[in-house]
Structure 1
Amino acid sequence: MKYDLGTGEEKNWIVAESSFSSSLLGKAEAVMSLGNGYMGLRSAAEEPYVGEVRNLFVAGTFNKSDAQEVSELPNAADVTRMNIFIDGERLDASVRTEDYVRALNLKTAELIRSFIWTTSAGKQVALKFRRFVSLDNLHVIAMKMELEALSDNVDVSVESGVNAQVSNSGAQHFFEGEKRIYDKKYVEMVTRTVESKIDFMFHTVHHVTLAGVELNQPFMRMDRRLIMLSYQGTLMKGQKFSLEKLTTVHTSRDKEFKGMTLQEMRDCALSSLKQCAAEGYEKLFARHARAWEQRVWKLYQLNIESQDDFDILAARFALYHLTAMTPAHDERMGIAAKGLSGEGYQGHSFWDTEMFILPFFIYSNPEVARSLLIYRYLGLEGARKKARSNGYEGAMYPWEAAWPSDGEMAQEWGRVDIVTGKQTKIWTGFIEQHITADVAFAVWQYYMVTADQAFMDDYGYEIILDTARFWTSRLEWDEVSGQYCINDVIGPDEYKEHVDNNAFTNYFAHFNIQLAMEYYSNLKESDSDVFHRLNELLDLEHAMEAWMKCIDKIYLPQPGEGLVIPQDDTYLTKRIIDLTKYKNQTHVNTIFEDYSLEQLSDIQVSKQTDLMILFYWLEDRFTNDVKIANYNYYEPKTIHDSSLSLSTHAILANDLGDRSLAYRLFRQACEIDLGPEMKSSDLGMHTASIGGIWQVIVMGFAGIRMLHGELRINPELPEHWNKLEFMINWQGQRLELEITADQLVVKATEQVPVKLDVYGKEYCFDDVLTVSLTEARGED
């Protein structure tokens, strides 16, 4: 992978590979994936290779391939493959290739690939491929291919179309469907998912020229789940073969199709394709690039002046993928743990969204944050279903969520146990329950930052109150200690299963209940309409009695010897081993080559440290001495096998004054996908880590935090950063910030009064605030 190929205006905008290996396909397929939130397209090459993964996902189109399987995003028809032959020889970029470059331009969200290929007979041809998934028209995939005969005359044959002979790792999600070709030009394939009965409509058109002359009489081939058109001819030396391919993708789940018949949907989709065909690749691309400029780069205005160019490239890479993977167009859909870039985790949403991705949208694009939280509100149906099935009250959010009403979607069986050779049971869907409080916390954070009262009245209060009802039914009274406990859970550290009193879970459950009590009192006193509606729905008066009974008796693990807080009841009693080998690993999960998960339960080793996440989000509940003591105790025992881990540790390291370690961990977080490990992204992007990159920059280095509804900014930039610029939204107003080593400048764009805290000193302003950080820190 190369990150320094961009020059001029493209400097620090290009993610590229400068050589091609057919045995290392997944890295570029994932990190260069294209998307617009409606759909995501994995960036497999046009020509096919053994081991490739060709994925096209449309957000929210979940389906079960079989009654025994969990619902997952189905791999839709492949529209990018082309069978390319030169003098009858299939194109293979892994041999006899020169000047190979495949590059994703983050600024324009266009994938470009070019190289010179030599046939086995010694003839040279130059090829260039371009591709984008439109942010302007969410249904459009556009491709362009140019082939030039460099040294000799050559015969060219290119076959392209719609190939529905695809699956999810062997699982078939679609019926055969219908196939049409209109006017020997417009290709149509309509398929339907086998269980959820969602109709997919694919329409494709080609515009092909040979030496400037249009080829409009293709050979047409139909097979099972396949429609292909072939174009061929002879190129004289110096002549070019050009193929433009435009594809539209629609489904019956699209909002604009509500109430339409299938035929009406097909007609609309075909009409949309014809409009695109009238414009062509270049005009469509210009509108797409303009959409990225206006909706992303100008909106977020993130800039880093660093002595290391990788830093700004990584930041832009994060913003690119946060945009590509987020279904901002539809509140019925959440963000998948791999975005729309791979089959990993079946397209399900986890706590990754609320704790690692949502903060970016809360501060940078509240409208999208609101949509993602409405998805969780719609998910109350599934959460209540899960609570009832487990014998609890209220709303118990699924560990893995798909369509909001579905409930729990976690798989039950996973990897093979290295010791027993048997398949390991996955307990997360049963007992990793902190996600319920995580969702409530995210609602509260959104409200505090945005002051969106309408959201709370319509959605937010109900989530917080009903999740609190779950926790009171989940608590277990311990007669010996005289406290309420939460037993048999998994915390964020998933290497510790079936633990009692996981600190993260207990503190967040306590927070959830405490927040519900506060909102109960506020609503009863100040908003009788909302209170009566929710009281009738949730029996709040009875719930309040239960909350008052338990709130002061919930067991919250406290600092003990050396100020260390026990992660759970037994963690500190486990044996300690030398973890150097795993701390220095080049890829995750190497510890499973030596230990089973059951054995890890008896060792002081963490996938990620619960306490660090707790200190980050509930920072005001712990003293600095306690944070330092626990960081020093748990960090050496954390092997960061979770992609969520590094960003949190980086933020805490920066908070605690270790700026060099903070940057080193930030760099490692960036390199989960952008680093040299060529297998790390095979299953798709690490979306939580992508959100974590932004958090380290803004919440960590810039020191942006919301505490008790107040804004705090305590900047501590890496030593090699000269300037950091970005924007946030604070309670309805856009703030533009510029931070250097010794100065903070904040501009209130709408000149609405703002109050904020900088290193313990309160500032009030309504235009531009300039603060000397040297003075604010009390430095000489």
Structure 2
Amino acid sequence: MKQYLKHDAWKIIEEGFTPANNRISESVFSIGNGRMGQRATFEEQYSGDTHQGSYVAGVYYPDKTRVGWWKNGYPEYFAKVLNAPSWIDIDVSIEGEVLDLAKAKVENFKRELNMQNGLLTRTFIATLPSGKRIAVDAKRFCSMADGEVGAIRYAITPLNFSGNLSVVLPVDADVENKDANYDEKFWEEIYKSADIDRAIVIAETKKTKFHVCTGINFLTKENDKVKPVVAKSETRDKYAAITFNYDLKENITFSIEKYAVVLSSENHKKDLLVSAAEQKLRSIKTEGFDRLFDAHQNNWLKRWQGADITIEGDIAAQQGIRFNIFQLMQTYTGDDERLNIGPKGFTGEKYGGSTYWDTEAYCLPFYLGTTDEKVARNLLVYRYKHLQKAIENAAKLGFTNGAALYPMVTMNGEECHNEWEITFEEIHRNGAIAYGIYDYIRYTGEEKYLTQYGLEVLIGISRFWAQRVNWSADKKKYVMLGVTGPNEYENNVNNNWYTNLIAAWTLEYTQQAIDFVKIDDKAAYEKLVKKVSFNEKEETAKWSDIRTNMYLPEDSKRGLYLQQDGFLDKELLTVDKLRKEDRPLNQKWSWDRILRSCFIKQADVLQGIYFFEDRFSFDDLKRNFDFYEPMTVHESSLSPCVHVILASVLGYKEKAYEMYLRTSRLDLDDYNNDTEDGCHITSMAGTWMSVVKGFGGMRVRDGKLYFNPFIPDQWKSYSFKVEFRGRVILVNVSKASTDIKVISGDPLEIIVGEEKELA
């Protein structure tokens, strides 16, 4: 862990500049607004270790899959999240000396992200090699009020001299991806222009032909009064800039306000991008930095009203939960059903793709509980619109009759993950899609979603499971061979318990969905039957046989559900036997050694018990938790939250709190030594679940809302709100009492512990 960030309830604060931590900070202090965002790289030039990354939602490059031995069924490409044209640069030189913190003496450095209003601030004093000292105060935001707008206020104060300042304000599309295989660049110039008050570049992605139009203009001030400068323009390949010089006066502050627009051909006609950019640039410059920020800040305050979680008595825990909620809200706003929740959001490029099973398994509950129902619904509609691609994905692997295999990683519904043990074998993701439909309907009560969209998806997934199993004459059961479960430290195993369980459950739930739609809208059902050529009698009979006779590996002596066949053949060690220098395993051990070990990356059997906890007894949970958790290294960001929730059920308060700190501060404290590649956005929803479902004990059963709260010993109190079927419920838990009430909407029967209350 690297605990160098100051604890604060509403802010992330870095005091003092340590270059070795810079890439971590670039990730942690990232900002975005659902449509675009960037890592917290410096505005001025920096020759030290850095990765400047700007990102535009939905824009990607299909990089050719590169493997040593091509196999049928491999995805054609790996989808790269593209580092997009940069608008944040403000290149500064003083009397010919470039301002570069790698070459200057840096004092009073402070980087601060205010999560309450989404403002990134950086202040420092730099002494240049010549001895000239300057103070810099830089503020930056990506507008939550207008997803195509960003702004910077960069203030410079010379402390011991007067002299000439040279400034370059560029738009730079000549950018690189950190994960480029052979130093490739993925943008071509389509258009550029620059004059004395604006610069615009349109860049096109190779292959996919997305157009991104990035434009900037500026305003200069001296001691907060507008002070025009004489500017010039500069252009080169993929680059357009405005340049000017200014005579700085000792102890007089000169500030540059740089306004930016980032427009995509996903939202504008390509031939209208320039005119749209010019119009918006004029508008935002007229509005000015302060008014733009006010609109941005007000948008953030409204979002926090519904999503905030307060914790009294534990500042590290408070900061952690707000950081996770902040990143989730600025990554996905729910305004566009074409978008989803990338695992790195706007903080980095690792993993590629924008959609994983994380969305349905972890993120959906957060958006259900904190936003309007339509936001979560859009996440499901996104999958419905990719159903045909899921059918094509399955067909590439030899499946027929409309069987659907949703991708492990995707941008447009097509599989784009190129590791065989994931692409071919981690098929449990299909079950998460089905579970997401169930979870949405259970929470909202909107069963008609099945009629409109859900049943068609469920039929496609069930057809896949029916073809993926095979009958074992030896076991007299249906088995599932050659899979990878949620624990990715096991590959190509037979009968992963969780995968078999969720497959059988999906077949069961699909039958229930059929029964509902037939009654709800017979005409719609008959239309669907015709559309997908569904032979109800024959197919459902087969599904019933499979779910009744699905093999689920167990050890009856220990009372355990076995992660997979042969798991007990391993040397069963616990994590406390590992040396500190062995962690994290995925960075220290060979893959061969990991695969042969018993160590578990994330909840696997326990993932199934978490999803379907009402089907298991307390003793079932206890035996399996006590067996598997001590072998779990939690080296997946998705792991701690499930363990918080289950430990809370068991009354393991210290374990629940330990896992909560791990999930909430995973990136802030760099637990897994990988935050420099970007934050773990999708797992951040698990932090919210840890409080609401774990400590708060919230469940929905038979349309009713249940709470069974407890409070960690380290806290004095905590509170949160949840939206539920048109109501807002406020939960306050202290050591002395629990208060749960409806603060908006009709009264509701709420079950607290075993007692019913009308709130």
Relative to structure 2, which stretch is displaced further, 315-324 or 41-50? 41-50
2-structure distance, mates of 1:586, 1:662: 24
2-structure distance, mates of 1:525, 1:219: 71
Note the C-alpha offset of 1:3.
Answer: 5.2
Which aligned pairs between 1:570-649 and structure 2 lie closer than 5 A? 570-577=566-573, 579-580=575-576, 582=578, 584=580, 588-589=584-585, 592-594=587-589, 596-649=590-643
Equivalent residue for 1:674? 668
1-structure distance, mates of 2:133, 2:60: 45
658 and 579 in structure 1: CA distance in 2 versus 1, 3 angstrom threshold: closer
Equivalent residue for 1:321? 327
Which aligned pairs between 1:29-108 and structure 2 lie closer than 5 A? 29-47=26-44, 48-66=46-64, 69-94=77-102, 95-108=104-117
Give CA deviations for 1:113-139 in whole Å, capped at 9, x if unaligned. 001112223232111100000000110
Q: 3-state SS of the aligned residue for 1:29? A: helix
Give CA deviations for 1:138-162 in whole Å, capped at 9, x if unaligned. 1011011000111221321121210
Which aligned pairs between 1:383-532 and structure 2 lie closer than 5 A? 383-393=390-400, 394-404=403-413, 407-412=414-419, 426-532=420-526
Give CA deviations for 1:641-688 in whole Å, capped at 9, x if unaligned. 111111211221121111011101111222210116695311111123
- 1:155 is aligned, of 158, 164, 167, to 164
Equivalent residue for 2:69? none
Give CA deviations for 1:536-592 in whole Å, capped at 9, x if unaligned. 1230514222212322111123452221221001111112346436475696335x5
Note the C-alpha offset of 1:410.
Answer: 0.2
CA contact (8 A) 2:340 2:355 kept: yes
1-structure distance, mates of 2:745, 2:261: 44
Equivalent residue for 1:205? 217
473 and 578 in structure 1: CA distance in 2 versus 1, 3 angstrom threshold: closer
CA contact (8 A) 2:134 2:159 kept: yes
Note the C-alpha offset of 1:455.
Answer: 3.0
CA contact (8 A) 1:26 1:53 kept: yes
What TM-score do the two structures reach when normalised by structure 1? 0.91
2-structure distance, mates of 1:237, 1:209: 15
CA contact (8 A) 2:582 2:588 kept: no
Identity of aligned residues (%): 27
206 and 589 in structure 1: CA distance in 2 versus 1, 3 angstrom threshold: farther
The answer to whether residue 303 in structure 2 is matched with residue 303 in structure 1 is no
289 and 2 in structure 1: CA distance in 2 versus 1, 3 angstrom threshold: farther
2-structure distance, mates of 1:514, 1:671: 38
2-structure distance, mates of 1:584, 1:289: 44
Which aligned pairs between 1:251-400 and structure 2 lie closer than 5 A? 251-254=264-267, 257=268, 260=269, 262-294=270-302, 296-305=303-312, 307-365=313-371, 366-393=373-400, 394-400=403-409
Relative to structure 2, which stretch is displaced further, 324-333 or 99-108? 324-333
Which aligned pairs between 1:545-560 and structure 2 lie closer than 5 A? 545-560=541-556
2-structure distance, mates of 1:750, 1:673: 35
The unaligned stretches of length 5 or more in structure 1 are 7-11, 413-425, 769-780
> Number of residue pairs matched?
735
Equivalent residue for 1:417? none
Note the C-alpha offset of 1:603.
Answer: 2.0
CA contact (8 A) 2:662 2:671 kept: no
1-structure distance, mates of 2:7, 2:421: 45
2-structure distance, mates of 1:107, 1:593: 38
Equivalent residue for 1:652? 646
Higher relative contact order (CA 8 A, sep 6+): 2
Task: Note the aligned Cα RMSD (angstroms).
Answer: 2.1
What TM-score do the two structures reach when normalised by structure 2? 0.93
| Aligned residue type for 1:97 | V
| Aligned residue type for 1:395 | A
| Aligned residue type for 1:293 | L
Q: 3-state SS of the aligned residue for 1:628? A: helix
Equivalent residue for 2:12? 15
2-structure distance, mates of 1:649, 1:442: 20
Equivalent residue for 2:560? 564
CA contact (8 A) 1:178 1:189 kept: yes
Equivalent residue for 1:140? 149
1-structure distance, mates of 2:620, 2:574: 25
157 and 589 in structure 1: CA distance in 2 versus 1, 3 angstrom threshold: farther
| Aligned residue type for 2:347 | S
CA contact (8 A) 2:6 2:14 kept: no
CA contact (8 A) 1:340 1:347 kept: no
Equivalent residue for 2:73? none
Note the C-alpha offset of 1:473.
Answer: 1.4
CA contact (8 A) 2:354 2:409 kept: yes
Equivalent residue for 2:71? none
- 1:237 is aligned, of 250, 271, 277, to 250
- 2:234 is aligned, of 203, 221, 230, to 221
2-structure distance, mates of 1:649, 1:599: 25
| Aligned residue type for 1:196 | T
